[in-house]
Amino acid sequence: MASTGKQTGSRVGTRRIVFLDRDGVINRKPGDSFVRSWQDFQFLPRVAEAIRMLNEADFRVVVITNQRGISLDLYSHDQLAAIHSRMCEELARAGAHVDGIYYCPHPPGVCECRKPGVALFQQAINDFPGTDVSSSIVVGDSARDLQAAARLGCRRVLIGDSGRSIAASLAAAGITLDYSAASLLDAVTRFILRL
């Protein structure tokens, strides 16, 4: 079985998960699409506020991210863990937290954990017993994210400027969106917290 990476917290008790993609939802994508160190990581505006609001509304917040830069030897598992540790520290300073971080280090086509595969989502669901999958939400900025959401039966939220073209390609594949938003905060305040 292909190996995957996981970092989880210990929070228990809630039944809904908001699954967040990382690059393009939590942080800006760098020019080459790889965050190789903390110096490359830049939070998108008001992300910590949005995550804090989800925490306060008793959603679990879980990050699911493809990180094939590891398979390309651009950074290591340890370097990625250091980036995620700093990300969590910065969120904590703003009164926010994520309950788990799951990542796929593989190139395309060799595993089921790389989105649009759903193995990492299933692992998170297993790690948080009692999760109501049908009322959980996947928030992403790519077709891969929303294809995984459709396979799981989760609600689907698209973030970012390329929403129209992605929505059109998803519609052609028979996948509808529940919401399209400019930012994570927009998605949280105008859609997720109203569910």
- For the annotated catalytic residues, the residue numbers are 21, 23
Q: 99 with 60: CB under 8 angstroms?
A: yes
Task: Name the token pair of 54.
Answer: 């989800």
Instruction: Residue 128: name the closest of 16, 3, 50 by CA.
Output: 16
Classify burial at 171, counting beta carbons within 10 Å of its beta carbon; exposed 0-12, middle 13-18, buried 19 or more. exposed
CA distance linking residue 154 with residue 152, whole number of Å: 6
Task: Name the token pair of 115.
Answer: 């989105």
CA distance linking residue 137 with residue 34, whole number of Å: 25
